[in-house]
A and B are shown apart, each in its own frame.
Chain A
């Protein structure tokens, strides 16, 4: 009888420990807010979404191959506050899978924080190397747009501060494992205070 009770207590403790462990690995909006805050200068980013899309096409044309022989880089973005999260989509689709809903909600919680008020963000979609490079550019663009669409409705983020860009597989997170899930990610980059995006990606002063 006592032994049975001990087992029960042990099981209870274990389940509590397990719950804490699960809670700790979950993405918190505070983490995202802190990563996206803290841009020191308010200068206008010298890179438009259109230029980024052109650089992607140039990289595919100039450096052909099944997997990009030379990863695309944007030095202008390297020092900006940013946050990367793995989001799961249906295969070959821009539909976010329900297991990733929470993370999209956490991004929305972060973007609504007054600390980030008035900042503009690039929402960059990346794929793994499965599928053709040009196809993946389109897929990642649609996925970045799907993230933006979800942030706007249901989560009421101002669409003017979000600019979706798809980079396909041109910037693999883990080039040694090009089909790994870590490559399928969404990257948010704070491009500076008081800059919003127009319909064709041009920046202007937010209201």
Chain B
């Protein structure tokens, strides 16, 4: 009975931490600045130990962290997955929003293509008027909140 209670409690805990970890990636993506800062923070010691002098660009840093994933600290391992998933998701959203939202933009703002006024167009209308797919990709681009902060 006692053992069952402990098992149950630990499952709840595990589920809670899992939700904490994947929650933000479902709701929204990180800015590139915040994402890579999180990685540098969580992996500081690991970068000095396993990836010293490795370049950030050209996929080299990611390749180094991937190659050492069995050795890096738990927070670094967690950040590696979360950060690169977030970056990929934001990049895909920023690349695809023109296609995904083209019908919405044409209907709501009268222009047929995504251009510099895309953000103004989508922010000028209620989210309820935008299709769910367009709403989600707009959130993933980060432009909804980035704009609000300016």
Closest chain B residue, CB of each to CB of A90 = B53
Closest chain B residue, CB of each to CB of A111 = B32
Q: Which residues of B contact A93 (CB under 8 A)?
A: 53
| Least CB distance, B34 to chain A, in whole angstroms | 7
One digit per residue, 1 when the CB lies within 8 angstroms of any chain A CB and 0 when it does not, for chain B 26-53 equals 0000011111110110001001000001
Distance, CA A28 to CA B40, complexed state (A): 17
Q: Is the CB of A29 within 8 A of B95?
A: no
Number of interface residues of A (CB under 8 A): 37
Closest chain B residue, CB of each to CB of A117 = B116
A94 within 8 A of B: yes
* Chain B contact residues, CB within 8 Å of chain A: 31-37, 39-40, 44, 47, 53-59, 61-62, 84, 87, 91, 94-95, 114-119, 141-143, 146, 149-150
Distance, CA A125 to CA B36, complexed state (A): 21
One digit per residue, 1 when the CB lies within 8 angstroms of any chain B CB and 0 when it does not, for chain A 95-130 equals 110110111111011001111010000000000000
* Chain A contact residues, CB within 8 Å of chain B: 27-30, 33-34, 90, 93-96, 98-99, 101-106, 108-109, 112-115, 117, 146-156
Contact (A106, B56) CB under 8 Å given A30-B150, A101-B39: no
- Give the secondary structure class of B's interface: helix
Distance, CA A34 to CA B147, complexed state (A): 12
Q: Which residues of B contact A152 (CB under 8 A)?
A: 57-58
Q: Is the CB of B36 within 8 A of A104?
A: yes
| Least CB distance, B37 to chain A, in whole angstroms | 4
| Least CB distance, B30 to chain A, in whole angstroms | 9
Distance, CA A147 to CA B40, complexed state (A): 16
Distance, CA A101 to CA B95, complexed state (A): 22
Contact (A156, B59) CB under 8 Å given A101-B37, A113-B146, A117-B115: no
Q: Is the CB of B31 within 8 A of A95?
A: no
Contact (A98, B44) CB under 8 Å given A30-B146, A106-B33, A109-B142: yes
| Least CB distance, A26 to chain B, in whole angstroms | 8
Q: Is the CB of B37 within 8 A of A105?
A: yes
The 3 closest A-B pairs by CB, nearest first: A149-B57, A150-B57, A156-B91
Q: Is the CB of B53 within 8 A of A95?
A: yes
